Chain A
């Protein structure tokens, strides 16, 4: 067996569930989630760390899964877009994106949702400036961002109304 194909066991908690797969060392976390665990909600737009479509939460913090090797996060906790809803109810961020028409093709959306979820956990009442800053590392080719920024504020509002902080579950307690 070559170095390319030698497999390593990777065990992670993904969306609250222990998941395990044996993968080569070069397996990207994005591919691991998508193809080894079947969680295809995490998207890949560039595979070079620029677009943010592949953003997931690693121990609560947004990371680009296309720039992360699966073997390096063995033993950690990951939240993907599939894990944002709670008890079948969309999270405030998911609701806000729908209400504000913050997505069109939806390809960039999982990355934005994860990014915004972590952001609002740390900053539940952002200013205009802060909201803009928070999403300015993710590319969207469809929406022109205006409704995405609207959605960040709307999510903050919903979150405040429902008193549920979307980041709590993967919080760094």
Chain B
């Protein structure tokens, strides 16, 4: 087995357990644990008058019933506001169990613990909550009028308001640049709500060890380290007495980065209070009404441009619907505002957003996190510019591209990490060239004409994006070589199907020169690695990948030092191949890494034949030096962190050909092409998989998925029956091509790939439908009946 594995399509090491039913997801743990269930608000906005639990008390197997009044200390306080921002002047978070007022359907009001879930739900059904109705505030524009309030103390329902402005090189404001431009357009663009919707919902399982005074929590989370800190703080426990583990997680896509969820602190608290194991597994309806959604935004655009299509001034005003609470701050509209600019240099830019409360489920990042909206905005704008000027859409894009020689390129804005938005590298013209070739852009007009001759309508669309990936602040990696020659890698961030066990093992095997079979990887387990941020923003490969590489380099250096002593060689002449340290060019002068690991740890007591070498009478240590030299530590292990100055910027371009049925308005994607640049590829098979999955979610967002709230704040389609996620029959075959522009910011030259696929899809499909139909498409998703309505409107 070769040890050069970086860049190879190595098969996943996760799969052996996952295809045999041996994975361990949250609900697979803790057989026999008590089950928690929740009484949730059936109303969008109401005051709790009374909670009567008496009827539930007779339920067989009932263990406990809790309301807000039962919660002690910090548990009774509102949940943390995770990402404060100066513009978020009116941030509000929920109580773990509602106190006095409920602000969306699904808000937890009572927690029940019983022998099993069936019984817990029986008890929930018998609990009577009396409500006094308050006026529900639904729809971002209605909410922005501020007639009725979601929070009494938040005037106008405005949680945050932020303006960012970048003047042109000549010092003109966006307004001035637009007014002075030879051509101007103004329009509105809408995107509706969707959601991450992982196939496994949330879940928490907690065990309290009364003898030890310690708590072990398993959570289906994207950040176990941060859940740990939150649980310790909320329960008043010393941090070392709390461990949090993310087991196998059945998808996250953003929603599971939010924490602590009410259930994530209530279940551990109940476990500790009751001295019993307690588990809560979210059901699908709960996931719809009590986790998080994303995407809904209304965007008003003003653009000024010259006759070549150069954008001279761009002014975007965004109304962002963040739902009832803001635990995750205003990251989504910040990302929209900044990443909207994509691969382009814009003359002058002004962006303003208002983030508005409504009586709906809270909004937090979902794969893409505000970028799909931003890209929809920018790309629709460029399509309109092209249409206005009668130019090819790709020509207008090319006219505005940042050139390959203009990096690092400073967009003049502040990004989601609080740092300047400076692109590190990219090659946008080449990407466009590849995409046009892949989809056959230049020959499409003939194809379209041929189709038209057969009475068919087809159209082609394009969308480009830049994605800031690998945001800080940091991740770490720990690498230990044990005396059996095995390599144990751990990192604190978590996995939800991205194949981290495989790619991190590839990195470690490559760096250390060991067979990948000897490498094992643990993620998201605070017992193994306590310092981490989490998995989001396409950051795992960049952050933990580099941290692990750096940790491996430390281990390698130490291994060579010890081996050099043993072999009486110069460490600079040594190499490691297949787990054996040897003198370059002289394979016979060698020592296995396993032996190096033994020698790294001076022993008094041997525990097997091999370790006898490291004991004090073995003659291996120099008598005139301390067994552990100054500055050294026992053991062949290393820990390092990667903390980049700022994000690294991946990019990509997608194109699609769609067909619209002249009769039924059915929309079919005939072809879908992706050119993707995430720097150096660690595992191309896994990157492609990420792209496929992202595009599929993008297709969902473009054609099918939306959260339908009625005026009472009831979510009308809270099931898989009614919220339409694509099946295999709805997703086109995705054709991909890769460009590898390494990032100069990190040792591996990698950029993130997790979110990319989803980002431009709504823009691309809108562009293609518009091309097929000749009707402006300014709102996504679009269904056949929406298209039909647009046709009627245009006709009549």
Contact = CB atoms under 8 A, between A and B. Distances in A.
B641 interface: no
Contacts of A148: 728
B122 A90 contact: no
Contact of B19 (A50, A97, A105, A139): A97
B720 A48 contact: yes
Contact of A46 (B688, B720, B727): B720
A12 to B, nearest CB: 17
13 contacts: A4-B119, A35-B116, A40-B21, A40-B25, A41-B23, A50-B721, A101-B688, A105-B250, A108-B199, A138-B727, A138-B728, A139-B725, A146-B733
A1 to B, nearest CB: 8
Contacts of B199: 43, 45, 51, 53, 105, 107-108, 139-142
Contacts of B200: 43, 45, 105, 107
Given A106-B497, A146-B733, A146-B734, 6 more contacts: A1-B60, A26-B118, A85-B20, A103-B15, A103-B497, A143-B692
Contacts of A101: 11-12, 685-686, 688-689
A139 B14 CA distance: 20
A68 interface: no
B379 interface: no
B27 interface: yes
A156 interface: no
A42 interface: yes
B20 A41 contact: yes
Contacts of B146: none
B521 to A, nearest CB: 16
A99 B16 CA distance: 11
A135 B356 CA distance: 41
A107 B220 CA distance: 12
Interface stretch (B83-91, B156-164, B693-701): B693-701
B26 to A, nearest CB: 10
B133 to A, nearest CB: 29
Interface in A1-49: 1-2, 4-5, 24, 26-27, 34-35, 38-48
A132 B728 contact: yes
B619 interface: no
Interface string B5-22: 000000110111011111
A137 B720 CA distance: 12
Interface in B709-730: 719-721, 725, 727-729
A147 B122 CA distance: 42
A118 interface: no
B55 to A, nearest CB: 14
Contacts of A108: 199, 250
A103 B251 contact: no
B731 A146 contact: yes
A12 B735 CA distance: 46
Given A136-B729, A141-B199, A145-B731, A107 B25 contact: yes
B375 to A, nearest CB: 19
Interface residues on A, range: 35 or more
Contacts of A71: none
Nearest to B198: A141
A82 B251 CA distance: 21
Contacts of A103: 15, 18-19, 497
B91 to A, nearest CB: 30
A51 B31 contact: no
Interface string A120-158: 000000000000110111111111111111000000000
Q: Is the interface of B mostly helix, strand, loop or mixed?
A: loop
A80 interface: yes
Interface string B171-197: 000000000000000000000000001
A105 B198 contact: yes
Top 8 A-B residue pairs of the complex, sorted by shortest distance between their CB atoms = A41-B21, A105-B497, A107-B250, A144-B692, A106-B18, A144-B696, A104-B497, A40-B28
A4 B734 CA distance: 49
A135 B119 CA distance: 35
Contacts of A138: 727-728
B31 A35 contact: yes
A80 to B, nearest CB: 7
A167 to B, nearest CB: 17
A142 B497 contact: yes
Contacts of A38: 31
A144 B693 contact: yes
A109 B18 contact: yes
Given A101-B685, A105-B250, A51 B720 contact: yes
A144 B21 contact: no
A35 B119 CA distance: 14
A24 to B, nearest CB: 7
B191 to A, nearest CB: 20
B283 interface: yes
Nearest to A27: B118
Nearest to A96: B19
A137 B197 CA distance: 17
B685 A4 contact: no
